[in-house]
Structure 1
Amino acid sequence: MARGDKKPLMRLPYFLTSALIFVVSAGVCLLAAGFAVTKIEETSETAVRNALSMQGHEWAEVQADGLRVVLTGTAPDEATRFNALTAAGTQVDTSRVIDEMDIAPTADLTPPKFSAEILRNDSGISVIGLVPASVDRDALMDRLQKLDPKARVSDLLETADYKKPKGWDDAISYAILALSKLPRAKVSASPDLVKITAIADSQQEKERLEQELTRAAPPSLRIGLAISAPRPVITPFTLRYLISEDGGQFDACSAQDEKARDTIVAAAQDAGLSGPYTCTIGLGVPSPRWAQAAELSIRALSEIGRGSVTMSDADITLIAEPNTSPATFDKVVGELENALPEVFALHAVLPEPENNEQAGPVEFTATRSPEGLVQLRGRLGDDLQRDMIDSYARAAFGSDQVHSAARVVDQMPQDWPVRVLAGLESLSWLNNGVLTVTPDKVELTGVSNDEDAKAQIAGLLSDKLGDAQDFDLSITYQPPPEPEDALPDPEQCESRIAEVQETRKITFEPGSATVSSGSRDSLNQIAEILRECGPIRIEIQGHTDSQGREEMNQQLSQSRAQSILNELRARRVPTKSYSAAGYGETQPIADNDTEDGREKNRRIEFRLIRPEPVANQETGLEALETQTSATEPAPTEEEASETDAGDQ
């Protein structure tokens, strides 16, 4: 090469040049992509965070990871967590939102409403409801089984793992106690209310059960009683009305309802009814037109004059006085026969005039003394009749109580044994009395402790003696003597205590719960009354005037009520069924603007805790659950006491 010649430049190979360009381009792209991703992360995170803050979700944390937006934190509940997700979704696509949020524990949830419904009838005992898991179900089933060892006990209870509420054991114990007295009942028990729906055999049984169950309930427990007494089944359905020189009277009166009773009584009053009367409302009426037939029969008897009308189911017997005008008798009977409803059959009797030349009475008599001794005298048809009558009397009145002096006479009436036996059965209803049986009439006089005895006897004789029966009943009702150990009525106890306080008010030392010395005699009298009354449910209420702060007055009234309760305990009064409650200034009985009014408002009251009325159509815990769902959360003990006192 010549010296003056230039050396040619050295070139890179083509593949190296291409590779270098690719590397440089890739680097530039990566830088651009990284910048774009960072920008997107910052923008997304800021937008989501602002949206959550606007919705009040400061508890939520936001972290952007590429295109993903991760939400963390602890939401107070599921609804709040979902609301946070929704808020984030308004700023970025919902597919980019990653939910890693937690929910706060639900340990503070309100416990469920525990209740148990126990049904007892002839088929057995069943219990259903929700009870705390800590309840010993086996022990509960054993207690129910002891009510009737032969009954089948069905356990349909569910449990929840919550603490046993206050008052639960008292409610269940009282429910089982109630079921022990009620073979047909449904008892719904919850911690603060026990509802009892039951059927009693009679009105007297209903009243007795209500009093016993009210006394037995703990003072802190609200109870509701719905005990019904079904109408009795009357067999035969009987009515007997007599008109004598002394006026009209019922020996028996039956009606299917109140309207029918009023119709019958109105007819009797028009026919000269005098004195008190009873008319039993029951089941078994032979015809819906019973009242119409009774009204027509009574008015027909009134038109005749004197006599008796007896209705036994659909058979009507009208017996006139022997001296009744035959023309009048025939006219009235004819009109009555045409007017009576078709189902009723009339048997009318006009006796022959009395013959004063009778040789001697054909009769049988039985007397029962107040001590229960029974003497039988008179005539019977043969030895078989005498043995039969004597055996029946000893079975009815007791073998050691019967003395028989009846004699056998030939040619007695054919139905004589039936009349005598019916009369003896009627005599067994009386505490003491005299039975006289003649061929034409059965007469019974005496005394009974049963208000329905006269009606029952009239129905019995109507059924046994058949058509043309004639009998006279002169039965006096005397209330049964009170048992020596009978407890006074709770209302009487409340009234007697109020009378004591009217003359000697219970007072305290000023501003304290210490009973003044002048009130000791009043407390002694009240303690004596309460000991006689036995286990009644009493709330001792404390009240103040409006002077001072309301909170202080409430506390003072509670302390004074508790002080009275302690004083009664010191006087050996059983106070298990008593409670003390202070009402402060909330229930004034006089004007607090005067000294005399304030003095009246500062008082102690003794109030019966009465059962709450319960509608019969409600079953189970429906009323309780309706009340609970419509009110605020459960009241405090103080508020519950005020509510119970207000109901009284």
Structure 2
Amino acid sequence: MAREKVRKSLEDMFGVRVVRDATTLLPERRPFTFSAVKDGKAIALAGYVPSVAARERIISTARQAGFIVSGGDQLVRARGAPPGDFAALVNFSLKQLEQLPSGRITIADHALSIEGRAPDLKIYDELAEVLRGALPYGLTLARFAVRPPVASPFLWSASREGNTLRLSGYVPSEAARADVKAILDEAMPGLDVRDDTHLADGAPSTDLWLKAVRFAADLLSQARQLQVSIADSGISVEGIAATFDMFDVLSRVRRNSPEGFQVARFAVQPPRAVPFVWKLQRLPDSVQMSGYAPSEETRRLLSDALRSAFPGVPIRDEMRLASGGPSSEMWAAAANFAVAQLARLRSGRAEARGARLILSGEALDSAAFSSLTTALEHSPAGLTVENEVNPPRISPYVFSARRDKNGITLSGFYPTQKAHDYLRQILMRGFPEEAVTDVSAIGAGAPEGFQSAVEAGLRQLERLQRGDLSLTDLQLRLSGLAFTTAAADHIRAVLEKSVKPPFNIDVELSVVPEGAPVDGPECQAGLSEVMAHGTILFDTGSASIDAASQATLDRLVYILQRCANMRIEVAGHTDSQGFSRSNQRLSETRAQAVVDVLEAAGVSASHLEAVGYGATQPVVSNETEEGRAKNRRIEFLVKEAQTP
């Protein structure tokens, strides 16, 4: 039609007689297409243009944008272009393509399609906003196939605070976004969901990913303060459980991870326990854990420690996780310490309240009790330990003390460390120069009155040249060699008076054979030897002889009975304290008291002479208490032989 109009106008011009038409029509293309493929700085053009001018404008604009253009000279002129400025339409489309590292645009009539991958979310969002809005030059968007950037890790996170749920991170598609909303609405209807997620590539399979979202929704529906994050194939859960039941539910749910995913981090804070207590109990057939632990890790480590300490013994774990206790490090140190002590018990328990640990029960044996007692001196820093562990129960309850040429040997058991220390003090006073071999051990089950019965026996063992003292439950037995018959009788009488029922007394004593008579020097040497290793003690300020002196007196009697036909002076001495007259009288009465005891034991009174010297013959200075103590003494002096 236009061609005919032009030809008609030319024929009607003045002077034109003949018009010969040698023009041809451009081919018409339906649809009228144009495409551009971008790869970095290179762009390849193809398709149709309505004119040479349009082609030149398109190529020029592309080059000005910095592209290396190919295919421009192969653009085909054709009819059928959409009305308007086709070059402007193409240049607008190329401007959008320019933002992609690589991609493609296709124009078919008025319809624009674009594909490629955005370098970042900002460009993706800008392209989506421009191309999905009102387009210039009559363009319509036929296909938006620009892919979002790859997110690594591909993170999706949902954080719940009461009735509000905030979403962040990425979703793989708009369809997936809609599916996420539907899942959350179903699990938590009525919740205010605020979605700040962006589209991104890099997600696992969408079907599997949505299963992970459903798993997250199940967790979020259980607690009002919780955050669940999905990063690639890992899931993390953190928050606060208001109740133990809620915490248990969350713990159970998290053990059922969806296909292709696993819970890499579970940091849900359990409820607060007040008071924060935990207990380990050794039962006849098992070991039980109960109370609270600060974390799953500490609880697992405790269980492992118990299995190592009690191989083959079933471990019953009734512990729950809770907050509000000591630090995990402090808790673990206390628990490991408790396990080590529990292994030393036949039965018992370790119970902790905060930083206070109470140990109770019965020790396996005396060695275990001793080890436990020593360990308590090195308990973990910051831990207060109360020891209520009893020694092992011994039956029959035995204790023994033997005196021979090698010294004193203790064996058997004692009920408390205090009792043991007390008996050792008696030995130190009664046998000051003798070696003590102590193989006794602590043990429960001692009869009532154990300490006083053994003390009475040890005091009489002091009087024997050698002997054995043994206690078996309520039977106290003393055997050995006494120095004289009178001493043996006196020992038996003292024991029967000192040790009361329900104890039974068994005394079996022999007497040291009488030695040959001695002369004066030998007698003096024997008496001096006895007094060098013993002493005669008096009550303060009086002439009453202390019972602790009896062992020395027995030995004196044994020597004096061999000193026949000799006059022996028994001399009393005092220190310088007090008046000289009173000192003189005290020294005389003390010397006479010793003579009376010796006479009663069988020494002839005609051989003994009591003499008092007061403070006139000190052996050391009276300036110190130690010196005065040495000056308060009894001396035996062989004066001369008597005529038979």
- Normalised TM-score (structure 1): 0.29
Which structure has the larger Rg over C-alpha atoms?
Answer: 2
Which of the pair has the greater relative contact order for Cα pairs under 8 Å at 6+ separation?
1
| Structure with the larger helix share | 1
- Give the number of the structure whose residues are more often strand, by fraction: 2
